């Protein structure tokens, strides 16, 4: 479980919310409530206590380099206890953020040096039957169209994840 002050850079995919709802109907314990469907560009990012103006400017500047994008989600991905939907259309932006902050290890290295862009749907699905039910439930919703329109820098507080700022994709200086 992450500590308060942990930050992340994400793209929220609102239209992908039904994927999380479907997994929640299978087993509510598998879904992180209060966390919207999203793709993590950098998680964990720089701890809030070490976050600089330069880091924030870097997030804003990098977001401006990429246009908003219409995406088609089609593939369910599973690993031990983990069910997700691949988002290959965002891999380029994920790679760019990781290159900008090479000292930040995505997911603390848990999924290798270059985990694929994805929406996490269920975590802790260690029971193969539960994982299969989640895969079937979300698979029935695919393909799913969604739009990546903005990048958010979020911080974990005592009340959950809170947005520090949101910047639109493809807009110079986030205007």
Q: pLDDT tens digits, residue range 127-174?
A: 999 999 999 999 999 999 999 999 999 999 999 999 999 999 999 865
Using the predicted structure, report yes or no on whether residue 115 has a pLDDT greater than 70. yes
pTM for the full model? Answer: 0.94
Residue 172 to residue 119: CA distance in whole angstroms:
26
Per-residue pLDDT tens over the stretch 55-104: 999 999 999 999 999 999 999 999 888 999 999 999 999 999 999 999 99
Could you give the angle at which helices 17-26 and 128-139 cross, rounded to 10 degrees?
140
Which of these, 59, 80, 72, lies nearest to 155 by C-alpha position? 59
Using the predicted structure, report yes or no on whether residue 13 has a pLDDT greater than 70. yes
6: left (phi over 0), alpha (psi -120 to 50) or beta: beta
pLDDT score of 34: 82
Using the predicted structure, report yes or no on whether residue 175 has a pLDDT greater than 90. no
pLDDT score of 174: 52
């Amino acid at each position: 479980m992450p500590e308060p002050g942990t930050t992340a850079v994400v793209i929220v995919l609102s239209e992908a919310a039904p994927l999380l709802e479907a997994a929640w109907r299978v087993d509510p314990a598998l879904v992180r409530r209060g966390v919207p469907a999203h793709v993590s560009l950098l998680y964990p990012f720089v701890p809030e206590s070490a976050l600089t103006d330069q880091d924030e400017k870097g997030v804003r500047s990098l977001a401006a380099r990429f246009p908003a994008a219409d995406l088609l989600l089609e593939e369910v991905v599973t690993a031990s206890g983990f069910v997700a939907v691949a988002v290959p259309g965002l891999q380029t932006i994920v790679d760019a953020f990781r290159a900008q902050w090479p000292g930040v290890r995505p997911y603390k290295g848990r999924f290798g040096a270059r985990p694929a862009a994805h929406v996490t749907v269920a975590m802790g699905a260690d029971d193969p039957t539960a994982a299969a039910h989640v895969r079937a439930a979300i698979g029935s919703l695919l393909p799913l169209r969604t739009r990546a329109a903005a990048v958010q820098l979020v911080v974990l507080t005592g009340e959950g994840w809170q947005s520090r700022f949101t910047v639109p994709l493809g807009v110079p200086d986030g205007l």
